Homo-oligomer: A and B are copies of this chain.
Amino acid sequence: MTLSELPLRERKKLRTRAALVEAALRLFGDKGFDATTLDEVVGAVEVSKRTFFRMFTSKEDVALAPEKELWAVYVRHIEECPLDGPALAVYQRALFVALAEMEPGWEPRFVASRRLAEGTQALVAHSLEHCAGVTATVLDTLARRLGPDGPRPLELVLPLEVMLAAWRWAMKEWAEAAEPPTREALRTRVEAAFAAVPASLDLEFRTRS
């Protein structure tokens, strides 16, 4: 469907891209992100380093490709979803929609990517930076859609960051869990994290020194 019916050149490009992601995640998973050189990755797919950098902006980029797919769909959905009800709920709904739209076979790539990212400084950094970019885009989109009389950016960004924090926590637990990392398991953990939001924000410490 989305694969065929494209110019031959595009199809080839997409196949090479997918092969690079697959090879990169496999090699990074085996030897570690830092210990794997780009030459090994491009060697495994038999492409030149120059070609790699026409498809990905950095070594981190390829390792986080599954995550970026998700957020690309998220942003697209924010541009056209109904803006109705609590902001936090809208942000959460959009995430579930994006999750549901990921193609079959996305989970194993995503979990490989996340397990890598948890233990690699450079990937944590890149992942959070990408998230910040998404946040900025969402804010711009909402500011445009809601007009100049809508809420101030600060009011828009705080619930978004709450959603993201809960998402990151759920994702971390999902990637670390012993159970098979299915999409349903992820969804369940995300729902649990979202459900814990109200009580968490009202959390009080008992008196102690």
Q: A residues within 8 Å of B by Cβ?
A: 82-88, 90, 121, 124-126, 128-129, 131-132, 145-146, 151-159, 161-162, 164-166, 169, 193, 196-197, 199-209
Give chain B residues whose Cβ lies under 8 Å from the Cβ of A86.
202-205
Give chain B residues whose Cβ lies under 8 Å from the Cβ of A87.
203-205
* Contact assessment for B209 and A82 in the assembled complex, using a CB-CB cutoff below 8 Å: yes
Q: How many copies of this chain sit in the oligomeric assembly? A: 2
* Contact assessment for A159 and B200 in the assembled complex, using a CB-CB cutoff below 8 Å: yes
Selected from B146, B193, B202, the residue in CB contact (under 8 A) with A205 is B146
6 contacts between A and B (CB under 8 A): A82-B209, A86-B204, A151-B203, A154-B166, A155-B199, A161-B164
Selected from B124, B145, B156, B202, the residue in CB contact (under 8 A) with A132 is B124
* Contact assessment for A159 and B201 in the assembled complex, using a CB-CB cutoff below 8 Å: yes
Give chain B residues whose Cβ lies under 8 Å from the Cβ of A193.
154
Enumerate the 7 nearest inter-chain pairs by beta-carbon distance, A residue then B residue, closest first.
A125-B129, A161-B165, A128-B128, A158-B200, A125-B125, A83-B205, A87-B203
CA–CA, A164 to B156, complex, Å? 15
A209: nearest chain-B partner, CB-CB: B82
Instruction: Please name 8 further chain A to chain B contacts, defined as beta carbons within 8 Å, in addition to the given A86-B205, A128-B132, A155-B203, sorted by A numbering.
Output: A83-B205, A88-B201, A88-B203, A128-B128, A128-B129, A153-B169, A155-B199, A156-B203
Q: Nearest chain B CB to A81's CB is how many angstroms away?
A: 10
